[in-house]
Amino acid sequence: MYIDTHSHLFLPNFENDLDEVINRAKENKIDYIIVPATDIASAKKAIELADKYDFIYAAVGVHPHDTKDWNPSWLDEIEELTKHKKVIAIGEIGLDYHYDFSPREKQIEAFKAQLDLAVKLKLPVIVHNRESDKDMMEIISSYCGNDLRAQFHCFNASLEDALSYIKMNHIISFTGNITFKKSDELRSILAGISLDKILLETDSPFMTPEPFRGKRNEPANVKIVAQKIAEIHKTDVEEVAKITSFNAFKFFGLNHKSKISYTYVLGKNIYINITNRCNADCYFCNRKGDALLHGYNLKMTKDEEPPAEVYISDIGNPKKYNEIVFCGYGEPTIRWDVVKKVSKYVKENGGRTRLNTNGHGSFINKRDITPEFKGLIDIVSISINTVDPRQYAKIMNLDTRFFNEMVAFAKNVKRYVEKLVMTVVSINEIEIEKAKSVVENKFGAEFRVRPYF
């Protein structure tokens, strides 16, 4: 159920009762533990633990505290250690300007060398960053385009930095310090980060969460971290466990393959994953990537698209949900006949429906389909993206005429549904206020901004 992505089980703190610690972890539904090293000697100990316990994996690298004697020849030793089948990352590496146990120039030299090795080996890195935000951002930014994947563990920088790292395809993790009484700022940062970009960790034996602060930390306590994240994100802990576990499987490449989710539940709505196909190719869309969302695998080919009966079976009693939402990593009107069949079932059984679309349904189906929405779809949400036709075409990788297709569709469909919503994604180049004005005044629609992660 949980994955502790950062636990230093090789330290002397665990030498007298490690088996008991492991048993408590299993009793508390910890499925995997990742043990990151701090130097060459501890890297070997981490591998020994991975050999001994089937659910433990290792990361190898040199911590900034231990880089004062950094020698480039250590890279050869680290690379040799990565050949072990259960070594899944380079780490813990990074910068620490709080203690400065190692000269900063040595820290930077070692950090960059290990980042280069990770890129070469196509392994993710586990990053330590303390009071070195400026240098850290400059270094990590310099690797954009090099397929570097970094976990920023025990995150304590700004929300702005976190979102910048996320845009660079990195991921954030939090420890028990989010439970501390004086950690309101950290909890505020956590609230601003999508669960899709968060990992769980304990940083054992450090960062023990309340109510056990002052005692040795251990992997079993990762569920306390998950509970606090659930509280802050206003969801249940099972949802946090599921999403963060999928994030870890994806990020570290653990041996896990999830089945396709044809439907997925978020909050009180059930979402219908109709297709991954789309006539547009928005540059911020992940449909051609892994198509993971909140721990659900939405990736499917045309041959894997199921008939309406599969969706109907998953829905069951539609009154259980606030809305049945047609929304996946594709354009649902491509399978308009399936949408109509499922919607008919939902409406006949007392449910409510919403369809999220790019507004090209009539073009796709080569006829005006908007009258067919009547009595089947309660709410239509259209991704307007921008009110500038040229910018629209650039964002969606389409001809400008599709802006007019979307506008015509929006005006027509409004006559047949209860509510029309038009949305934009919160990317820097979009004039949010201008879009809001046009949506509300020209279309008479509700305006929403979709967060971009």
The lowest-confidence range among 257-261, 348-352, 420-424 is 257-261
Specify the 3-state DSSP secondary structure of 203.
coil
Residue 429 has pLDDT above 70, yes or no: no
Residues 6 or more apart whose CB falls under 8 angstroms from that of 258 comprise 246, 249, 296, 297
pLDDT at 427: 66
Whether pLDDT at 270 is above 60? yes
Q: What is the pTM of this model?
A: 0.66
Same topology for domains 2-252 and 263-450, yes or no?
A: yes
Q: Which two tokens stand for residue 418?
A: 């209860």
Distance CA 255, CA 209 (A): 29
Band (293; pLDDT cuts 50, 70, 90):
confident
Residue 453 has pLDDT above 60, yes or no: no
Domain boundaries, the chain: 2-252, 263-450
Mean pLDDT of 393-411: 93
The C-alpha torsion from 5 through 63 and 97 to 218, rounded to 10°, is 40
Hey, what CATH topology would domain 2-252 get? Answer: TIM Barrel (3.20.20)
Question: What are 179-199's pLDDT values in tens digits?
Answer: 999 999 999 999 999 999 999
Per-residue model confidence (pLDDT) at position 285: 78
pLDDT of residue 284: 76
Domain 263-450: CATH superfamily is: Aldolase class I (3.20.20.70)
Can you read off the two tokens belonging to residue 61? 């690298």
